[in-house]
Structure 1
């Protein structure tokens, strides 16, 4: 089978080597996993530990080849996307452009096999627009990343960002909404990170997506193409509750109308969650994704087999949805 993994992470090692040279926070340090630990602030909290599998794209693609399928990948930043919005705006712009150059280089090195989305710093709207135009128009990146928060500020629906969302909708490129560790990591600390990783990230991405709905941004910009990570977080399961309790937002339609306009992946470690995501969003709005290297693609494939989907639906889920939704240039011609 020819598969596209819509939720995949590759991080360029030279970028983190540069980050290790910073003497002030946020910065990074080499860890005992042949990766890096990103440290947001001196007092701890919200650190991100990565390991070797994040950094060698050739080895990652070889791992995918070992699944017995041809697997192409769409790379997004993941929780590290918050970094670019925590810096002084001009520095955030420079760092984002440097990251995006690495992504564009990987696209050129692996045409038709690797696509990447851009880092966008959101602390300054003018900078966000500048980086967006450079990433999509100049570098040819296929989409952008939206962190679940702007640093420690959860308000990604800030009115000042309206021109950014308007331009994003006009361009028609996808925005990957992924949680960070900036908002809930301290509140849900302890248990070796189990509480935050299990619930904190799910809550953050759900709140962020809800803000884009309740603020009217999704209503005002119907072309906004939002891809929610992790089968939509908690939103599919609380859709009725949102419709019941969001009347004060004075939207012209129920909140679920906008939620169902979003797209999602299959990153849920049980088949029941995958099945419900497909039932809620519809088979045309769900894409195969594994969160690799955070999750095992072989396990994801096995769980999807439990759903016993019709062959036409499997084709959509594993490949053609991603080509259509994400606008993957060159994918249709790949063998």
Structure 2
């Protein structure tokens, strides 16, 4: 009988070291970035007689990530936990063709955005629909279709419609429906070199129309929404203003006491310039009802100002990708760095990176 106690045995195999628990990857959802589905790109670049497209071609033809998903996904891989809420890249559909052709284009675009989101939920958390507001009834119908049938979580609009302010009465049905649907409304600036810097000139110089003009457009849009009574009538509207709320946080000291005196210094023959629906609050209080994004391109001081004005609960992480000098990842990287440089509580940082967007889209985002 073998004495097992005295029988030499092979050393027991070494147990594999227990895997270290993975640190959770912070979720980051880019709430304002752009894409150009292939079908839309083919349609746009086939139009040779549309002036709005001449500028577009020059600006986007050398940005592969707008159209090429392989390039886009490789860039996104740099950022763990990062997904995008996509929208249609400029120009506004209203700027080319007839209202009918614009309506056809946005319908095609929304189908494509919905398809991209459905096929790549690990990359795209959702999409914001395109509409063409040259035909308001058609825009409302397309918004209903995009939200109800395609699953859009919001809609992207521009600061004006072919030079017309969105507080004109004809746009009222759009605002009413956006409020009823409780969707996120992304607001993108829009002007070009034909908008001169000074009245005596014919064109803008040095691309002032873009660098500074777009920020004026956003700020003027906000003011017309306020004084046109849109937020008074629809206080639940979720208006996301690109580029950190633009000029408003930086000039809140001028906006507050300045517009508290609206009309007190206006000559009698100019009273029509200040007439509008009655407001129940200070103008400054309405400006705080907007939401802002972090697309400020490596300017932490500007983001700090936006956070102080709107509060962390009204600021959403966004990059404006892929329009940076690296053609994709640069603004994502700088926007993340800017948020991480802020003196925020952990729950505030989490809210900015994804929580605020999830709250505003009320469960519509893909998991």
Counterpart-to-counterpart distance in 2, 1:266 and 1:298:
12
Indicate how the Cα distance of structure 1 residues 268 and 27 shifts in structure 2: closer, same or farther if over 3 A, else same.
closer
Counterpart-to-counterpart distance in 2, 1:129 and 1:257:
29
Counterpart-to-counterpart distance in 1, 2:41 and 2:342:
39
CA RMSD of aligned residues (A): 2.2
Matched, 1:16 2:29: no
Question: How many residue pairs get matched?
Answer: 313
Are the counterparts in 2 of residues 173 and 225 from structure 1 also a CA contact under 8 Å?
yes
Matched, 1:245 2:259: yes
Partner of 1:281: 310
Indicate how the Cα distance of structure 1 residues 330 and 146 shifts in structure 2: closer, same or farther if over 3 A, else same.
closer
How far apart are 1:77 and its partner, in Å?
Answer: 3.1
Kindly name which structure, 1 or 2, has the bigger radius of gyration based on alpha carbons. Answer: 2
How far apart are 1:70 and its partner, in Å?
Answer: 1.2
How far apart are 1:48 and its partner, in Å?
Answer: 4.5
Matched, 1:294 2:323: yes
Counterpart-to-counterpart distance in 1, 2:194 and 2:181:
32
Matched, 1:136 2:147: yes
How far apart are 1:184 and its partner, in Å?
Answer: 6.8
Partner of 1:32: none
Partner of 1:62: 74
Partner of 2:214: 201
Which of 325, 341, 352 is 1:306 aligned to?
341
Partner of 2:184: 174
Which of 253, 256, 263 is 2:291 aligned to?
263
Counterpart-to-counterpart distance in 1, 2:95 and 2:155:
14
Counterpart-to-counterpart distance in 2, 1:294 and 1:232:
19
Matched, 1:211 2:224: yes
Counterpart-to-counterpart distance in 1, 2:193 and 2:138:
23
How far apart are 1:139 and its partner, in Å?
Answer: 1.4
Indicate how the Cα distance of structure 1 residues 58 and 121 shifts in structure 2: closer, same or farther if over 3 A, else same.
same
Counterpart-to-counterpart distance in 2, 1:64 and 1:98:
26
What do the CA deviations read for 1:37-88 (whole angstroms, capped 9, x no partner)?
A: 537xxxxxxx754421211234323312213x210111123542x2335432
Are the counterparts in 2 of residues 122 and 150 from structure 1 also a CA contact under 8 Å?
yes
How far apart are 1:213 and its partner, in Å?
Answer: 1.0
Are the counterparts in 1 of residues 52 and 96 from structure 2 also a CA contact under 8 Å?
no
> SS of 2:160's equivalent?
coil
Counterpart-to-counterpart distance in 1, 2:122 and 2:355:
14
What do the CA deviations read for 1:112-137 (whole angstroms, capped 9, x no partner)?
A: 54111111111122111111111111
Counterpart-to-counterpart distance in 2, 1:245 and 1:105:
46
Alignment TM-score, normalising by the size of structure 1: 0.86
What do the CA deviations read for 1:239-271 (whole angstroms, capped 9, x no partner)?
A: 343332263444221122121111111111311
Alignment TM-score, normalising by the size of structure 2: 0.79
Are the counterparts in 1 of residues 358 and 365 from structure 2 also a CA contact under 8 Å?
no
Counterpart-to-counterpart distance in 2, 1:268 and 1:3:
16
How far apart are 1:330 and its partner, in Å?
Answer: 4.7
What do the CA deviations read for 1:294-323 (whole angstroms, capped 9, x no partner)?
A: 232112222222224221211111111111
